[in-house]
Amino acid sequence: MTNLVDRVTVPTLLTVASTPTTPGSIDTALLGEYLLGTWADARRESRRLMKDAAFHRDDSLNLDDQRERVLGQLRLLADAGSVLKAFPTALGGEDNHGANIAAFEEIVTADPSLQIKSGVQWGLFGAAVLHLGTQRHHERFLPGIMSLEVPGAFAMTETGHGSDVAAIGTTATYDEATEEFVIDTPFRAAWKDYLGNAALHGTAAVVFAQLVTKGVTHGVHAFYVPIRDAHGFLPNIGGEDDGLKGGLNGIDNGRLHFDGVRVPRENLLNRYGDVAADGTYSSAIASPGRRFFTMIGTLVQGRVSLDGASVVASKLALFIAITYGSQRRQFTAADPTKEEVILDYQRHQRRLLPKLATTYAMSFAHEKLLTAFDGVFSGARATDADREDLETLAAALKPLSTWSALEIIQEAREACGGAGFLAENRLTQLRADLDIYVTFEGDNNVLLQLVAKRLLSDYSRKFRNADAGALAGYVAGQVGDAAVNRSGLRKFVQTVADFGSTARSVGFVRDAASQRQLLTDRVQTMVASLAGRLRAAQKASPTEAAALFNANQNELIEAAFAHAELLQWEAFTEALEGVTDARTVEVLTWLRDLFGFTLIEKNLAWYLINGRLSAQRAAAITDYIDDRLLPRLRPHALDLVNAFGFEPEHVRAAIASGAERARQDEAAEYFRVRRAAGIEPVPEKSLTKKSLTGKR
Distance CA 267, CA 275 (A): 11
153, 197 Cβ separation under 8 angstroms: yes
In sequence order, the 6+-apart residues with CB closer than 8 A to the CB of 172 are 181, 182, 183, 207, 209, 210, 211, 212, 221, 223, 268
Q: Is 64 exposed, middle or buried, given 0-12, 13-18 or 19+ CB atoms closer than 10 A?
A: exposed
Residue 376: what residue type? V
- Phi/psi of residue 282, nearest 5 degrees: -145, 150
Dihedral angle over CA of 477, 482, 484, 485, nearest 10? -160
Distance CA 452, CA 654 (A): 44
Q: Give me the numbers of helices (H) and strands (E) for the chain, helices first please.
A: 29, 14
Which residues, listed in sequence order, are joined to residue 623 by a DSSP beta bridge? Answer: none
| DSSP assignment letter at 680 | S
Q: Determine which helix (DSSP H) or strand (DSSP E) holds 229, and give its type and residue range.
A: strand 228-229
Q: Which of 578, 627, 558, 522 is nearest to 37 (CA)?
A: 578
Q: Which of 31, 45, 39, 43 is nearest to 10 (CA)?
A: 39
CA distances from 448 to 360, 445, 460, 600, 630 (A): 22, 5, 18, 20, 32
436, 302 Cβ separation under 8 angstroms: no
Distance CA 112, CA 297 (A): 25
Helix, strand or coil for residue 193? strand
228, 208 Cβ separation under 8 angstroms: no
Residue 143: what residue type? P
CA distances from 483 to 198, 459, 464, 491, 542 (A): 57, 18, 21, 12, 35
Q: Which long-range contacts (CB under 8 A, 24 or more apart) does 667-671 make?
A: 668/329, 668/338, 671/337
User: Please, what's the b/e burial string for 221-245 (b: 16 or more CB within 10 A of its CB; e: otherwise)?
Assistant: bbbbbbbbeeeeeeeebebeebeee
197, 152 Cβ separation under 8 angstroms: yes
Sign of CA dihedral 22, 24, 25, 29: positive
190, 169 Cβ separation under 8 angstroms: yes
Name the residues annotated as catalytic. 441
Pairing of strands 204-213, 216-226: antiparallel
- Phi/psi of residue 217, nearest 5 degrees: -90, 125
